[in-house]
């Protein structure tokens, strides 16, 4: 009787701790994001330090602090899923990048941008095609060896 009550209390405490950890994680993430935006805007006039470098520096410092405080063990303080990133965070980032592009600079570098796109696509296509062709030939050669 007492053991089942103790197990129920421990289960509720574990759920409460899990909820608390997720709330702390989300609040820390939002605070770091706000700090990154504010510091990035404060350094807007600086030629060598923009918002992205500020975000990288804040993330690096936060990671070092978490690594040092956790004693080198894997810390579960900041849990981040890739689904959250790809569905909710990446589209606004891409929209903001496209919306804030300067037209004059874009059209001045249009040929270079298209060249990188075309050459990159050609290189990617050739590597994937070679891999597919080699994989097909390897399967045929293996099949012939078994006969």
Confidence grade of residue 118 (pLDDT, cut at 50, 70, 90): very high
pTM, 2 dp: 0.47
How far apart are the C-alpha atoms of 73 and 132, rounded to whole Å? 41
pLDDT digits (tens, 9 = 90+) for 10-67: 566 566 555 666 677 778 888 888 888 888 888 878 777 878 888 889 889 988 888 8
**CA distances, 80 to each of 25, 75, 116 (Å):** 9, 12, 32
């Amino acid at each position: 009787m007492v053991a089942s009550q103790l197990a129920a209390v421990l289960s509720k405490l574990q759920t409460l701790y899990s909820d608390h950890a997720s709330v702390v994680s989300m609040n820390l993430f939002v605070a770091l994001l706000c700090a990154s935006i504010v510091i990035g805007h404060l350094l807007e006039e600086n030629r060598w330090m923009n918002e992205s470098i500020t975000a990288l520096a804040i993330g690096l410092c936060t990671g070092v602090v978490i690594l040092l405080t956790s004693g080198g063990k894997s810390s579960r303080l900041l849990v981040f899923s890739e689904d959250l990133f790809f569905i909710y965070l990446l589209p606004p980032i891409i929209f903001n990048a496209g919306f804030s592009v300067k037209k004059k600079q874009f059209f001045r570098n249009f040929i270079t941008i298209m060249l990188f796109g075309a050459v990159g696509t050609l290189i990617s296509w050739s590597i994937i095609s070679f891999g597919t062709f080699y994989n097909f030939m390897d399967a045929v050669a293996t099949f012939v060896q078994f006969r």
